[in-house]
Structures are given as structure tokens and as C-alpha cells.
Amino acid sequence: MRPSASLSPLRAVLWDMDGTIVDTEPYWIAAERALVEAHGGTWSHEQATQLVGQALTFSAGILQEAGVQLETREIIDTLTAEVISSVQRSVPWRPGARELLDDLHQAGVRCALVTMSEGPLAREIVASLPKPYFEFLVTGDTVTQGKPHPEAYLTAVELLQGADPGLTIDHCVALEDSAPGVAAAVASGLATVAIPHIVPIPEDPRHTIWESLAGRTVSELEAIAGASPASGTRARSGSAL
């Protein structure tokens, strides 16, 4: 029998969004390419992969280098609007994400969204879910430093502590698909599960690697939250080697 939420080492799961819950990276890449080409430039797959998981301000800078003659805010707004339009036509859920969200909800484990996408897109995705799984959203427009900086994850933990002062980073697990996201979560001190998508993530003793969220369970996340970081168990548990 699974321990109750009050006894479990796992009290919260912090979710990345793009590439982890929804397969929106192709939408972003298409929007980037269209924007660059509209300004007379070319956009390669290699250039696009540099932006996966990065803060939108960083991405805007790369697009400006590729020839986009717009201010940073205009680039972010243009890309976001295009991705929202694509999502409104079809939400591309990642395998196992909704099922794991529902299992965590039923187990009483709190969930927060920690994404570098801005509020309008994040709210669009959350509104497409059947239940209010996320207690709150930390989005790219609510932090001063984006991933791979740990600010977004540290902010999420502080918000979780508001309703549960006894909660610590050791009670939480982060789920991420990109190298910048994994770096941000690891830098914050969170136990981190990498589910690589679009861009490979090298093995590292500081995080666990899962090939997919499909078939993953609350118990597996509890084991990761309860593992000792120093022991190395955390990084090997459930790894796809």
C-alpha cells in the first residue's frame, strides 16, 4: 500500500510544460522558421535545437542574430501567438503525462507548472486538462532569470511552502525534457527526472533518465524523492541506460 501524502517523501511534483506535458516544440520550431524566413533569413534544425528549453528572451536574441528585425518583446509575442493558435487547433499531449498527472492528483501529491513559456500559452494548456491539476503556474514572464538559471524552480518551492511550511526541496521532484530545464532543476537542488525529447540529455549522476512518462507511477516518483542524493540511488532509479 502506498503511504499517505502526509507520510510519503513525495509532497510535490514540479512539471516543465513544452516537451514534457505537451509536444509543442515542433510548433515553436515552425513559428521560429516562419519568422526568420519572413525577414529574409534561413532557419536550420540545428539552430532550432539551440532554443529548446531556453528562456524566450534568450531565444529572441538568437532569432535577432538570424536576421529577425524586431524587438525582443515583439518576437516573443509573435512566437507565442502562433504557438497558441496551433494549440487551439490540436493539443499534442506527450505519452503518459496526463495519466501521471491524474495519478498524482488522486494520491494527494501537489503539482506546479514551471515553464519558460509565458502565461497565455501555459493557461491555454492547463485549461485543456480535465481537472485543476496544477496548484499554480510559474511562467517565463514571472521570473527575472530563465532556465537554465534555477530561479523558476526555487520560486515554485517557495510558493509550495506557503501552504506547507514543513515542505523542503527534498519532498519535491522535477520533471524536465531539455538540457536547460534539467540544469535549472538540478541547480535548485531538486531531485530531477529527465525525459529527453527533441534533444538528447547526457547521463549524469545528478538526475534520473526516463525514456517516457508512459506507464510511470507515483511510487516511482516517491522512490526518487526518498533517495539520498549522495548515494547515487536517485540517479540510477528507473534510468534508461
CATH number, domain with residue 194:
3.40.50.1000
Could you give the CA distance from residue 76 to residue 74 in angstroms, rounded to a whole number? 6
Q: According to the model, what pLDDT value does residue 226 have?
A: 82
pLDDT at 230: 37
Q: Is the pLDDT of residue 73 over 70?
A: yes
Q: What is the mean pLDDT of the chain?
A: 91
Q: For the CA atoms of the chain, what is the radius of gyration?
A: 18
**DSSP secondary structure letter of residue 231:** G
Element (H, E) at 78: helix 72-89
What three-state secondary structure class fits 69? Answer: coil
pLDDT (tens digit, 9 = 90+) per residue, 101-130? Answer: 999 999 999 999 999 999 999 999 999 999
In a domain, 181, yes or no: yes
Are 188 and 131 contained in the same domain?
Answer: yes
| Number of domains the chain is built from | 2
Question: Do 175 and 107 fall within a single domain?
Answer: yes
Report CA torsion sign: 145, 209, 98, 2. Answer: negative
Domain-ending residue, one of 89, 114, 142: 89
The span from the CA of 230 to the CA of 210, in Å, is 20
- Cα–Cα distance for residue pair 12/162, rounded to 1 Å: 13
Mean pLDDT value of segment 228-234: 39
Q: Which residues constitute the domain of residue 81?
A: 25-89
pLDDT digits (tens, 9 = 90+) for 155-168: 999 999 999 999 99
pLDDT tens string 20-33: 999 998 999 999 99
> In the listed set 71, 89, 107, which residue is the last one of a domain according to the structure?
89
What CATH number is associated with residue 41? 1.10.150.240
User: What pLDDT is attached to residue 16?
Assistant: 97
The helix (H) or strand (E) run that includes residue 192 is strand 191-194
Residue 121 has what pLDDT?
A: 96
